[in-house]
């Protein structure tokens, strides 16, 4: 996805970049290609994990929340990157999906690149697809029962419409089909298991763990997941503020 963002940007330097919802992937890319950068996370664990890795004179990692009106007050960037940020907002700041796009507008003096995931369908035509959906439901149920809020993905059409209302001019929306393999299911089930262990003790937790195990065995026996199952797509929205 970052290669595509670089292609959209062309030969011009990226300049000063804001990674508005950072993580290991986006930060590694931004630290490599930007002339200078600021990367923001609301997650203290991510902050601790990342703070040692890209320490350099031209970048700054910030632990903060966009609902804080003073965050990066007066700072303006040539490029604002929102990499899987919108889907994560519900987890940190419920109902702030419109607010965060409006909030970032004041920091964007050029281009916004927004990477997102189209919400998954509610049913799939094949066993492999159904296993993926069951895995995602279990993971989200485990999140909720552990006292957290799961991610909530938004369709590109909604994001593009909201960007228009927030003062950005949308230049393009491009989709990239997703292919999920067995390794993705097992990794996500490990996450589900970790959260399920924090669910209230008793039949609910035991049932959740047993169901995670069942889906793991279904996935191991599913040949379709070896070559990969196509479900949903990622998207990149390019928008400008000038």
Point out which residues bind ligand SAM (CB under 6 A).
Answer: 21-26, 40-43, 46, 65-67, 83-85, 88-89, 92-93, 96, 100
Residue 179 pairs in a beta bridge with: 230
Q: Which residue has the tokens 């690149």?
A: 113
User: Measured from the CB atom, is 66 or 168 closer to ligand SAM?
Assistant: 66
CB of 210 to ligand SAM, least distance (A): 29
Q: How far is the CB of 88 from ligand SAM (least distance, A)?
A: 3
CA atoms within 13 A on the CB side of 92: 19
Closer residue to ligand SAM in complex, CB, 30/124? 30
Angle, helices 24-33 vs 2-9, to 10°: value is: 30
Rounded to whole angstroms, the Cα distance separating 98 from 89 reads 10
CB of 117 to ligand SAM, least distance (A): 10
State phi, psi for 12 to the nearest 5 degrees. -65, 145
Pairing of β 36-41 and β 59-63:
parallel
Comparison of 40 and 199: residue with beta carbon closer to ligand SAM: 40
Indicate the residue among 8 and 92 with the shorter CB distance to ligand SAM.
Answer: 92
The CB-of-202 to ligand SAM minimum distance in angstroms stands at 31
CB of 60 to ligand SAM, least distance (A): 15
What residues pair up with 177 in beta bridges, in sequence order? 233
Nearest residue to ligand SAM, scored by beta-carbon proximity: 23
Dist CA 20 CA 26 (whole Å): 10
Q: Closest CB to ligand SAM among 8 and 96?
A: 96
Nearest distance from residue 43's CB to ligand SAM, in Å? 4
Contacts for 22 with CB less than 8 Å, ≥ 6 apart: 30, 39, 40, 41, 46, 50, 61, 83
Residue 25 or 32 having the CB closest to ligand SAM:
25
């Amino acid at each position: 996805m970052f290669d595509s963002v670089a292609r959209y940007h062309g030969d011009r330097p990226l300049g000063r970049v804001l990674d508005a919802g950072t993580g290991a992937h986006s930060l590694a890319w931004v630290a490599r290609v930007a002339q200078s950068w600021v990367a923001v996370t609301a997650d203290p664990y991510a902050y601790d994990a990342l703070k040692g890795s890209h320490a350099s004179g031209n970048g700054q990692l910030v632990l903060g929340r966009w609902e804080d009106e003073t965050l990066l007050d007066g700072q303006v960037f040539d490029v604002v990157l929102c990499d899987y940020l919108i889907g994560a907002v519900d987890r940190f700041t419920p109902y702030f999906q419109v607010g965060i796009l409006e909030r970032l507008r004041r920091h964007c003096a050029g281009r916004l690149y927004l990477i997102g995931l189209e919400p998954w369908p509610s049913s799939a035509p094949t066993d492999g697809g159904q296993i993926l959906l069951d895995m995602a439901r279990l993971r989200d149920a485990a999140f909720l029962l552990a006292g957290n809020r799961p991610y909530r993905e938004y369709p590109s059409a909604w994001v593009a419409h909201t960007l228009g209302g927030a003062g950005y001019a949308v230049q393009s929306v491009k989709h990239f089909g997703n292919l999920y393999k067995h390794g993705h299911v097992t990794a996500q089930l490990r996450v589900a298991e970790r959260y399920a262990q924090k669910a209230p003790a008793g039949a609910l937790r035991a049932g959740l763990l047993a169901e995670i195990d069942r889906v793991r065995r279904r996935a191991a026996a599913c040949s379709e997941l070896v070559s990969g199952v196509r479900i949903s797509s990622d998207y990149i929205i390019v928008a400008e503020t000038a």
